[in-house]
Amino acid sequence: MRNLIHYTKPADLFDWNSMLDNFFTEQPLWNTSSPAVDIREEDKDYRMEVEIPGLSEKDIEVKVEENLLTLSTRKEEKKEEKGNGYLLRERKNREFRRSFVLPEDVEREGITAAFKNGLLNITLPKKEKARPKMIEVKVSKANK
């Protein structure tokens, strides 16, 4: 009996009523609560690109606590329309929070963030590595 696999009929995989109701709203059918984040490592720093269209820099918070970088946004939208005997009031709250553990070689005080055209760019500079320093030995001339 252990080898039996539960079969779900394809019709049960989707809530068709909900999908049809959502089809006519502004909200997409898939989860968009967490934005796309690209992270790449370069010689002197790490670069993060976060796609968050429809927001302004006032809606975005970037916070560093110990070894944790947290990105969060919050935007409230209100819309009211009156006409032909009806009243429409809508309220939307868009928010997300995502945290990243920083590598040990990140210089936390040097982290910068810039936002333009729906793209948040975060630069995480790397610490200077402790390198051996060669010290030149000079011959001193004795006073006569």
Q: Which stretch of 3-17, 24-38, 50-64, 84-98 has the lowest confidence by average pLDDT?
A: 3-17
Decide if pLDDT at 131 tops 90.
Answer: no
* Pairwise pLDDT comparison (117 vs 13), residue with the higher score: 117
Is the pLDDT at 6 greater than 50? The verdict is no
Q: What is the strand order of the sheet 60-65 is part of?
A: 60-65, 68-83, 86-101
The pTM for the full model equals 0.61
- Which domains does the chain show, CATH number per domain? 35-125 (2.60.40.790)
The shares of helix, strand and coil residues in the chain, as percent rounded to the nearest 5, are 10, 45, 45
In the predicted structure, residue 30 carries a pLDDT above the cut 60: no
Tokens (6 digits) for 53: 């269209």
> Is the per-residue pLDDT at 47 higher than 60?
yes
The rounded distance, in Å, linking the Cα atoms of 11 and 21 is 17
First to last CA, the chain: 102
